[in-house]
Chains A and B, each alone.
Chain A
């Protein structure tokens, strides 16, 4: 097996050996001339090849294929490389100017994070009193000083609150005026008022105020319309009360599928429930999980296609998993017609089928 299938470590070692050989053959003839980057790998590659190649013959005995070996080989390479690099750098220091430069930079004028933070803090501290006492801060904040000339006038500090207050007042006045104009235009349908509102809006506002006022207005309108959207002005459900024709449409011991598709009810006329001759409306919703059962005329039962629940013509469950009978809807006679009221439901197990609103007795 070991002979057939070389382990990963073997393959890696082989590749490395080949690379090293190639590098040695191509690079070594001119060692002084090339850049240090290419010079460095030569000793780095040579260093691990020697230790890696030496244990190789002995390796099969000591499990060559383990990850440990691979890691060790890599580590050996790293160590060799590390040892080799300074040597290479010393040998050709002139060719690597960048390396000495960077430590010099970090050790020298490059500011540390603390320095920068300090500078910023001083700059801030210096900025506030700079208007009041610039002379005192001058020595302290050499870094922040150049930023100060922009704010020279000490008189502005007195006037400062006034433009803010004025802008707020203007904002309020403009917003109220234009809003009034818009509402007025919306109420009366006047285009003139709307244009007036727009005019006030556009003439008296600074861009900054206009932006915020627009944002507020759009946001307000959005919220109002969302609220309106939540309560649509339509009734999506069919009317809960509907006429289903006269008594004579429903002969004894039949189930009518006529209203099932539209309203989801069966009109049942039977005398099998406690011996009474009744017409009632059954909801076509299985009491197990809400599928729509089918009325099977041949077997005289309602059968649900989902899990096989079965109900007698009376709506009482007798097979399958449905735990309770089908529900009755309200039924009464109005203007000589049967009228179903879907807003009412009557459950047998709650004793509600005795409620006279749940059936129409046929004499």
Chain B
């Protein structure tokens, strides 16, 4: 640990200098926010525990102003103190790094992202206010700014490959916030019996010039960004490809890292062919299985709770979070690495996985796996394979065939009566396929399960 730290210093002059400008930028942004806060937020009564007597009216903007001043000082400290990186004090404290590193593993990551998703929906009224949004943005920016002072974090996040993913995280966060903000507003209006935002301000504009001009400006700005990006960040080229040497770690394009993470838990045939097809077909099927006519042309959450939660679950924890996991937390040999952990090629992680059949025959029945005697005919072999895998086959069959009617009778009772048999079955199967990913992930982590049905003889593993 100590040896590589010397070669890979946490701080360099260039990093400190660059961070100084980031803090200055944050300062400028927050100055604007102070102005807005002064105009909008109003006052609170400050008594300082009786020091100020009865207390004094202080605008909320004062707190932001203090924060602003701190940012300015920190920024100046970075810009002037970049000469001595070894002794520079302002970096991510070890006290923060250690619990983050200690708590980082696939289970914690998945639990964290899923609970974040649930909290996002439950507390949607709280975190979609302007102030909360600004706080979250500041928090996210400060987290990255501080973390960049760590060598290992910087190596991963600063890789030119990964820059679009960092940008994507902020963009996804912003649009999710925007959606929830608009739908919370509309839901409140519905509850109070007022007209929706879209009905109240239904001023329509003309395609020409309003829309076309907007598109033109977007086109120009986007082109400018792409050109600047192409000049500033060089393409991360590697050595010539060789069939005998796979880069370690070997990563898919960033938008497919969710798929690559899926491949860790499933047979390539499942994760590479069946599940992606189901995702595509499922997205196409949404208009046909959706019977809820509400929410058409305006933002709402309360009127489309099921549809939106299901979609967002598939998109945020199961796709975006998997991209984050695959990009930032998967290192050499596809091992899991904490954000501030050195990417050690020789990290030892024992993952002795077991199939359901092995667990059943070896552990429960305490005997060898049933194997067809050598030279037996085709039928015996098939019989023996089926006997070996009977438990897994029964489980999968129960999952796919017994659960839909069960759900129809219980949680989806209303859905079933409204949708009819065929549409309901499509919905139920899509749901089950989507849930198969987290189920398999949890089983892999919790009980080291490899395959529920493992028939490598036929390339059939589930």
Contacts and interface: CB of A to CB of B under 8 A. Distances in A.
A292 B248 CA distance: 10
B52 interface: no
B457 A321 contact: no
Nearest to A321: B264
B274 to A, nearest CB: 14
B266 A321 contact: yes
A233 to B, nearest CB: 24
Given A289-B263, A307-B334, A8 B272 contact: no
B268 A289 contact: yes
Interface string B351-379: 11100000000000000000000100000
Contact of B461 (A304, A307, A318, A323): A323
A349 interface: yes
A291 B334 CA distance: 12
A351 interface: yes
Interface in A249-282: 260-262, 264
A185 interface: no
Interface string A290-306: 01111010110001111
Contact of B333 (A7, A262, A289, A303): A303
B350 interface: yes
B264 A323 contact: no
Contact of A292 (B204, B245, B272, B335): B245
A285 to B, nearest CB: 10
Contact of B334 (A67, A296, A306, A351): A306
Contact of A323 (B265, B267, B335, B346): B267
A318 B353 contact: yes
A318 B353 CA distance: 6
Interface string B281-321: 00000000000000000000000000000000000000000
B231 interface: no
Contact of A299 (B245, B248, B348, B450): B348
Contacts of B234: none
Given A65-B203, A321-B263, A321-B264, A308 B333 contact: yes
A7 to B, nearest CB: 6
Interface string B143-171: 00000000000000000000000000000
Contact of B351 (A264, A291, A308): A308
B454 interface: yes
Contacts of A306: 246, 249-250, 260, 263, 334
Contacts of B272: 289
A185 to B, nearest CB: 45
B357 to A, nearest CB: 12
A67 B459 CA distance: 61
B203 A7 contact: yes
Nearest to A310: B351
A320 interface: yes
A292 B246 contact: yes
A303 B331 CA distance: 13
Given A319-B350, A319-B351, A321-B267, A308 B334 contact: yes
Given A291-B250, A305-B332, A308-B334, A261 B242 contact: yes
A294 B244 contact: no
Most chain A beta-carbon neighbours within 10 Å: one of B205, B250, B334, B352? B334
B42 interface: no
**B interface bracket (residues with beta carbon within 8 Å of A):** 35 or more
B348 A307 contact: no
Given A306-B246, A310-B351, A321 B204 contact: no
Contacts of A260: 244
A16 interface: no
A67 B244 contact: no
B346 A261 contact: no
A292 B265 contact: no
Contacts of A8: 203-206
Contacts of B204: 8, 65-67
Interface in A343-363: 349-351, 354
Contact of B248 (A7, A294, A350): A294
A307 B351 contact: no
A324 interface: yes
B246 A323 contact: no
A324 B335 CA distance: 20
Contacts of B242: 261
A284 interface: yes
A243 interface: no
A319 B353 CA distance: 5
Nearest to B271: A321
A66 B203 CA distance: 6
A354 B371 CA distance: 15
Contacts of B457: 349-350
A284 B459 CA distance: 19
Contacts of B450: 321
Contact of B346 (A66, A299, A354): A299
Those 6 A-B pairs whose CB atoms lie nearest each other, nearest first: A308-B334, A305-B248, A319-B351, A324-B456, A292-B246, A261-B244
Interface of B: 202-206, 242-250, 260, 263-268, 272, 332-335, 346, 348, 350-353, 374, 450-451, 454, 456-457, 459, 461
Given A261-B245, A288-B268, 17 more contacts: A261-B242, A284-B244, A289-B263, A304-B246, A305-B247, A305-B333, A306-B249, A306-B250, A307-B264, A308-B351, A318-B352, A321-B266, A321-B267, A323-B456, A323-B461, A349-B456, A354-B374
13 contacts: A65-B203, A261-B242, A261-B245, A291-B250, A304-B246, A304-B334, A305-B246, A307-B263, A319-B353, A320-B353, A321-B264, A349-B457, A350-B457
Interface of A: 7-8, 65-67, 260-262, 264, 284, 288-289, 291-294, 296, 298-299, 303-308, 310, 318-321, 323-324, 349-351, 354
